[in-house]
Structure 1
Amino acid sequence: MTTPPSAVLHPALSPAQELLTVPQVMARLQLGRSAVYDLLRTGQLASITLGRARRIPAHALTDFIRARLEQEAA
């Protein structure tokens, strides 16, 4: 009996489904840890919790940036 290729068992995440760590978001926004956690706490930036780990979907970061740009343009 053969096993399916690993790509079938663990399909690669598309960029829209990518999960970012808090340090990755800190680097992308060039903000400190407290500022990122404030955005998460206030609901401005969506996240999920996996056990004790906090992950931010890449699309949530994109949506946050887009919303801030629209606020600045208004």
Structure 2
Amino acid sequence: MAKLLLTVPEAVNALSISRAQLYRLMDSGAIPYLHIGRSRRIPLSALETYIAELLAKEIAA
């Protein structure tokens, strides 16, 4: 079964961006996340949605 929630390092690797960039995207609301205890978890679907939105913007440009 595929993971539904990713850790910050896993999301960073999946998107090939820096940790700081991921935190900026999360803090701006571009990538939603959950708190589980003191940890942040990013739904896989949130990354897929973010990528789809970026592609749509590129195509529209």
TM, length-normalised to structure 2:
0.91
Q: Which residue of 2 aligns with 1:35?
A: 21
Structure of greater Rg = 1
Q: Which residue does the alignment assign to 1:63? A: 49
Q: Distance in 2 between matches of 1:53 and 1:34?
A: 16
The residue that corresponds to 1:25 in the other structure is: 11
Of the two structures, which has the highest relative contact order with CA contacts closer than 8 Å and spacing of 6 or more? 2
**Structure 2 CA distance for aligned equivalents of residues 68 and 61 of structure 1:** 11
RMSD: 1.3
Structure 2: unaligned runs, 5 residues or longer? none
Alignment correspondent of 1:53: 39
Equivalent-residue separation in structure 2 for 1:44 and 1:66 (angstroms): 12
Aligned to 2:45, the other structure's residue is in SS state helix
Partner of residue 59, structure 2: 73
Deviations 1:44-70 (A, max 9, x none): 001001111000011111000000100
Q: Which runs of 4+ in 1 moved over 3 A?
A: none
Number of aligned residues: 60
Which ranges in structure 1 are unaligned for 5 or more consecutive residues? 1-13
* Pairwise CA distance, 1:37: 0.2
Among the aligned pairs, what percent are the same residue?
Answer: 37
